[in-house]
Structure 1
Amino acid sequence: MDVTLGVGQSSESEMVYRLGLQWDFQRSWWETSTGRLTGYWDTAYSYWQGDQTSSNHSLSLSPVFVYEFAGERFRPYIEAGIGVAAFADTEIEDRDLGSSFQFEDRLGLGVRFGADQDLGLRVIHYSNAGLKNPNDGVEVYSLYYRMGF
């Protein structure tokens, strides 16, 4: 199990703080001298600190695929995933998410170093995919640190 701490800003200028737990897939595919494809399950709690409106909270669960490039001390990687999230409130500043249920799409890049540590950047988009109107959606741009236990 790994723990991730993240801090970022939403497209609505809210500060977003994220605490996550990850479990590796325990599998890899397409292993070559260049790298390998692997992944993990990510579950997280996020606190959205509002400027204009009250704060919000969300819980999420996502499978995330990671392409890790080969390296000895530093192993750069890219990641992508699509999962689900539940928000306590459907409003984030001026945006109306339309429902508490949201899809969580993510893209990220980072570097692994030391014994099971990561540092990276990530963008996450939340949207209900048009299942309910309105569907304003929101993005989060964040820096994160991940440590294995």
Structure 2
Amino acid sequence: MRKQSLLLGSMLSVMAFSSSAWALDGLTFEVGQTNESTQTYRVGAQFDFTNPLWRSDGGAVALGGYWDAGLTHWSGLGSDSISLTPMFRLDFGPDNGGVTPFLEAGIGASVFSEPDLDDERDLGSNFQFEDRLGAGVRFASGSELGLRYYHYSNAGLDESNPGINKTALYYRFDI
């Protein structure tokens, strides 16, 4: 538990000292399904990186990112989770009719309220790593529509490490 607290505290510290951490840039609402066909519901807040990390010579491709903090309800599994994940995103554009496609990925930390999700699945610990891949489109208004794949695992920090996966559709409101 001490390693978990140290890792989560470190991530929160990095976020706190990031200049963009204080500006809420977006809110997401998400509905998903686990690999056991259980519904999930998530609300998240995004804090965009201040500047792109890289941009191609012509500006058609840019690497940027954001911090994502969220709360997920695992319907039927008797647990909720909070997460903090730095996301890195490749935007492909210039805008094509007001629509910019993107790919994104990130690895963060998540804490589950109950690691024993049902009679057959014990995640081993409350702390889980959150691996995430996604794709979507950003509209001229700044809102987004996308699809994400998540994998949660404690990476062997506990003897029991079955992990859990989910796929989700989300919509982001630009703030």
Same fold (TM over 0.5): yes
- 65, 77, 101: which one aligns with 2:88: 65
Structure showing greater radius of gyration is 2
1:55 aligns with 2:78: yes
**Higher relative contact order (Cα pairs below 8 Å, separated by 6+ residues):** 1
Task: Determine the structure 2 residue equivalent to 1:23.
Answer: 47
Task: Determine the structure 2 residue equivalent to 1:12.
Answer: 36
The percentage of counterpart residues that share the same residue type is 46
Q: What is the CA distance between 1:7 and its match in structure 2?
A: 0.2
- 147, 160, 163: which one aligns with 1:137: 163
- 109, 112, 123: which one aligns with 1:84: 109
The two structures, once aligned, show a CA RMSD in angstroms of 1.0
The runs of 5 or more residues in structure 2 that have no matched partner are 1-23
Stretches of 4+ aligned residues off by more than 4 angstroms? none
Q: What is the CA distance between 1:14 and its match in structure 2?
A: 1.0
Q: Is the 8 A contact 1:12 1:92 kept in 2?
A: no
Task: For 1:91 and 1:17, locate their aligned partners in 2 and report how far apart those are by CA, in whole Å.
Answer: 19
Task: For 2:153 and 2:121, locate their aligned partners in 1 and report how far apart those are by CA, in whole Å.
Answer: 11
User: TM-score, with normalisation over the residues of structure 1?
Assistant: 0.94
User: TM-score, with normalisation over the residues of structure 2?
Assistant: 0.81
Larger helix proportion of the pair: 2
Larger strand proportion of the pair: 1
1:115-134 aligned at under 5 Å gives the runs 115-134=141-160
- 87, 91, 97: which one aligns with 2:123: 97
